[in-house]
Amino acid sequence: MTAATGNAPLLEFRAVSKVYGSGASVVNALNNVDLIIEAGEFVAIMGPSGSGKSTAMNILGCLDTPTSGDYFLSGTEVGRLPHNARALIRRHMLGFVFQGFNLLARTTALENVELPLIYRGLPAAERQKLAARALERVGLAGRGHHTSGELSGGQQQRVAIARAIVTDPVVLLADEPTGNLDTKTSREIMDLVTSFNRDQGVTVVMVTHETDIAAYARRNLRFVDGRLESDIHNKQVA
Summarize the confidence of residues 39-57 as an average pLDDT.
Answer: 95
Summarize the confidence of residues 57-70 as an average pLDDT.
Answer: 96
Looking at residue 235, what is its pLDDT?
A: 66
Q: Is residue 45 part of a domain?
A: yes
Q: Is residue 130 part of a domain?
A: yes
Confidence label for 6 from pLDDT (cuts 50, 70 and 90): low
Confidence label for 3 from pLDDT (cuts 50, 70 and 90): very low
For 73-89, what is each residue's pLDDT tens digit?
999 999 999 999 999 99
For 131-179, what is each residue's pLDDT tens digit?
999 999 999 998 999 998 899 999 999 999 999 999 999 999 999 999 8
SS3 165: helix
By percentage, how much of the chain surpasses pLDDT 70? 96
DSSP string, 122-155: --HHHHHHHHHHHHHHTT-TT-TT-BGGGS-HHH
* In the chain, alpha helices (H): 53-60, 83-93, 109-119, 124-137, 153-165, 183-200, 211-214
Q: Is residue 27 part of a domain?
A: no
d(CA 93, CA 84): 14
d(CA 211, CA 62): 26
Is pLDDT above 70 for 72?
A: yes
Q: Is residue 21 part of a domain?
A: no
* 8 A C-beta contact, residue 73 and residue 3: no
**Structural domain count, the chain:** 1
Question: Phi and psi of 159, rounded to 5°?
Answer: -60, -45
d(CA 62, CA 96): 11
SS3 204: strand
Looking at residue 55, what is its pLDDT?
A: 96
Domain span at residue 91? 39-62+81-233
Whether the model pTM is above 0.85: yes
For 98-128, what is each residue's pLDDT tens digit?
888 888 888 999 999 999 999 888 999 999 9
* 8 A C-beta contact, residue 169 and residue 147: no
Residues whose CB is less than 8 angstroms from the CB of residue 117 and which lie 6 or more positions away in sequence, other chains included: 126, 127, 130, 131, 166, 167
Q: Is residue 201 part of a domain?
A: yes
The overall average pLDDT reported for the chain is 92
Q: Is residue 19 part of a domain?
A: no
d(CA 148, CA 156): 6
Q: Is residue 73 part of a domain?
A: no
By percentage, how much of the chain surpasses pLDDT 90? 82
Question: Measured in Å, how far apart are the chain's first and last C-alpha atoms?
Answer: 33
Q: Is residue 203 part of a domain?
A: yes
SS3 63: coil
Q: What is each CA distance from 15 to 33, 69, 101, 177, 182, in whole angstroms?
A: 5, 5, 32, 28, 38
Q: Look up the CATH number of the domain holding residue 152.
A: 3.40.50.300
